[in-house]
Structure 1
Amino acid sequence: MANDWKERLGVVFSTNPDFEYENEQEETQETLPPQQQKLRVSLDKRNRKGKAVTLITGFVGTEDDLKSLGKMLKTKCGVGGSAKEGEILIQGDFREQVMKLLQQEGYKPKRSGG
């Protein structure tokens, strides 16, 4: 007889006999094609100890697609950064280079702020 206590981790006890446990699964969002993306490229210095970062916002799609676009931009610019929650952060001021790279990939980026 297998002990299934590990399968019940995270389940709160319920006295409701009709209780159905739902696994938390975030809805997967369809990634829009590059032409339909409304990306904004800006320079951000807030809350970064005076360091400037290039911020790309407005990405609509899956986290994996966001990360792959972020990885491509970081690699081409030769710097670090991150990609999460619909934003790509590139360390340093690479607005012009990022705009050109996004256009080459079929996106229609707009400059905003900074």
Structure 2
Amino acid sequence: MNRKTLSLADWQQQAGKSITPTPSSKEALVYSTDTGKIVAEKPVKAEGQAYADGKLRLQRQTKKRGGKAVILISGISGSQDELQGVCKALKQVCACGGSVKDGAILLQNDQRAQVEAALHKLGYTTVWAGG
């Protein structure tokens, strides 16, 4: 049993392969100690989009909220900052919590008359949607 052992360098030479790795492009860069931590870009927040008739849709929802009612206001066109401003004004009038998600405003209350009156004062036309 006379077996000849071959080193990796010899095998690569016989196969015609180079020992040095080829540099990869920056697009395929996964980790690098040269540039530090690679930070992914933050997603752009959704802006509100108006409906064709120009009216806001007010909808009372309790689904997946433990039976607690929220009022969903959609159809306000504008940037995230404008939606935040309208949300803040409505929260102050209704004395409740709320937030802006996916281009719509969620208010944590069931004060339909106050919400509708506050939106009319701000110059919006509203219509109730859903049951």
Residue 31 of structure 1: CA displacement? 8.3
SS at match of 2:123: coil
TM-score, length of structure 2 as denominator length = 0.61
TM-score, length of structure 1 as denominator length = 0.69
Residue 10 of structure 2 corresponds to which residue in structure 1?
Answer: none
Segments of 5+ residues of structure 1 without an aligned counterpart are: 12-22
Segments of 5+ residues of structure 2 without an aligned counterpart are: 1-33
Residue 75 of structure 1 corresponds to which residue in structure 2?
Answer: 92
Residue 62 of structure 1 corresponds to which residue in structure 2?
Answer: 79
Residue 4 of structure 2 corresponds to which residue in structure 1?
Answer: none
Residue 9 of structure 1 corresponds to which residue in structure 2?
Answer: 38
Count of matched residue pairs: 97
SS at match of 1:73: helix
Cα deviations by residue, 1:79-112 (Å, 9 ceiling, x for unpaired): 1111121111111212211111111111101111
Larger radius of gyration: 2
- CA–CA distance in structure 1, aligned partners of residues 85 and 128 of structure 2: 21
Give the conservation status (yes or no) of the 8 Å contact 1:30–1:61.
yes
Give the conservation status (yes or no) of the 8 Å contact 2:48–2:75.
no
Identity %, equivalent residues = 38
Q: Give yes or no for the alignment of 1:53 onto 2:70.
A: yes
Q: Which has the higher contact order (CA 8 A, sep 6+)?
A: 1
